[in-house]
Amino acid sequence: MSASPAHGPAFEAAIQVTPVTSHRYSACLREEWCIGAVPHGGYTSSILYRLVLTHFAQTHPTLYNEPATPISMQLAFLRRTATGPAVLLVQDTKLGKRTSTVHVTLLQPPERKKATASSAGEEELEVKVAGYITVSPAQAEVGISAATGWKLSPPPPRGSKPDGAVDLVALSATGRDGAWMRLNAAFLTFRRATKQTEFFGPELGAAPGRMITEQWARFRPEGDVTARWTNEALVYLTDMFPTALAGFDEAAAQASGDRAQVQNWYPTVTLNIDLKRRLPAEGVEWLYSRVHSKLVQDGRTDLDVTLVNERGEVVALSTQVGLVVSASRNIGTRQKL
């Protein structure tokens, strides 16, 4: 891990993981990365990404000739997390020459207990997030590579370039290019984690369909304009799509007739991430996301996310199950989801 990570010092501090023993670690979930009172799911996933890097460097330093990085993450958000200290545990499920898989858990005190993770005993903590993460070193990933002819369909709204691509230099300088424009995400007081990213999306009427939303995004942790998307920051982005939530907000506002306040909170239940391509150590400035929701049924959503770099190469795929619940469930009295 670089002493000066491309994602910037603010994000580096927010995802810091400290070894306690060979399979036990600590972290501190930050308030500025919250949705309401709850740390953002993608941000929490970035901490677990860092946990695995730290674990293999700390506990299995000679297993591979180079750092092993996550290629797949399957996470279940069992209970609502909170800001402050957390205990992270790792169980070595399989250690292999090409891939290794570990079981990870994030623990904090039960909500109604006032003990902190730093002072509470193991029996006083409960599992908030659990899952499996599979890692592999880059040199071990050998085998067939084949183009499938896949393209974004329908194609994104046009930019100003002759081939319809977005001129990202112009988009950055003026806030507009072709059908694309700078977005102002709604409800930033509630959705503080959204402030950490700069979003650009299609103007009204240019998007391909109601259930498909898309964005170009630049990483801006605590306003740092030099920050770039790294592998850890990319994990946060797989769960960050204000344009998709705006569509859900609009549907809720139409149903209730109240457009003045946040109506809903969209907690993640499960998040699966397939990391197709490692980003360079210096990071990248821009990443494109397409978010597709097939059905919102009985307060439950599905979301498919495709992340693409400037060259049109798929960087990551994710799927998730989420809930649609009242925002009071986040900032009010806590209840079981």
**H or E element at residue 19:** strand 17-21
Residues 6+ apart with CB under 8 A from 46: 11, 15, 232, 233, 235, 236
pLDDT at position 257: 60
For the stretch 81-103, pLDDT in tens is: 999 999 999 999 999 999 999 99
Residue ranges making up the domain that contains 133: 9-138
Query: Is pLDDT larger for residue 187 or for residue 336?
Result: 187
User: CATH number of the domain that 242 lies in?
Assistant: 3.10.129.10
In the chain, the number of structural domains is: 2
For the stretch 116-147, pLDDT in tens is: 444 445 558 999 999 999 999 998 888 888 88
Cβ atoms of 73 and 46 within 8 Å: the answer is: no
Does position 2 have pLDDT exceeding 80, yes or no? Answer: no
Same structural domain, 126 and 199: no
Bridge partners (DSSP) listed for residue 89: 24, 105
Same structural domain, 211 and 101: no
151 within some domain:
no
Same structural domain, 121 and 182: no
Residue 285, classified by CB atoms within 10 Å of its CB into exposed (0-12), middle (13-18) or buried (19+), is middle
Confidence label for 203 from pLDDT (cuts 50, 70 and 90): confident
pLDDT at position 207: 58
Same structural domain, 122 and 176: no
Same structural domain, 126 and 230: no
pLDDT at position 279: 97
pLDDT at position 175: 96
Region of 257 on the Ramachandran plot (φ > 0 left; ψ -120 to 50 alpha; else beta): left
For the stretch 161-194, pLDDT in tens is: 999 999 999 999 999 999 999 998 777 778 889 9
Coil, helix or strand at residue 56? helix
For the stretch 278-329, pLDDT in tens is: 999 999 999 999 999 888 888 888 999 999 999 999 999 999 999 888 777 7
162 within some domain:
no
DSSP string for 184-230: --S-TTT-GGGGGEEEEEEPTT-SSBTTEEEEEEEE-GGG-TT--B-
Same structural domain, 172 and 127: no
Does position 209 have pLDDT exceeding 60, yes or no? Answer: no
Same structural domain, 132 and 21: yes
pLDDT at position 306: 97
Same structural domain, 195 and 73: no
Of 121, 138, 155, the residue that ends a domain is: 138
Residues in the chain: 337
230 within some domain:
yes
Confidence label for 115 from pLDDT (cuts 50, 70 and 90): very low
143 within some domain:
no
Same structural domain, 117 and 192: no
279 within some domain:
yes
pLDDT at position 186: 73
Indicate the residue type of 200.
F
58 within some domain:
yes
For the stretch 8-65, pLDDT in tens is: 999 999 999 999 999 999 999 999 999 999 999 999 999 999 999 999 999 999 999 9
206 within some domain:
yes
153 within some domain:
no
Torsion of CA 18, 331, 35, 205, to 10 degrees: 170
How many angstroms separate the CA atoms of 105 and 126, rounded?
Answer: 10
Cβ atoms of 233 and 213 within 8 Å: the answer is: no
Same structural domain, 133 and 191: no
Same structural domain, 104 and 174: no
Predicted TM-score (pTM) of this structure: 0.90
pLDDT at position 120: 46
Of 117, 138, 159, the residue that ends a domain is: 138
pLDDT at position 275: 98
Same structural domain, 51 and 121: yes
For the stretch 214-270, pLDDT in tens is: 999 999 999 999 999 999 999 999 999 887 776 666 655 565 566 555 567 888 999
pLDDT at position 294: 87
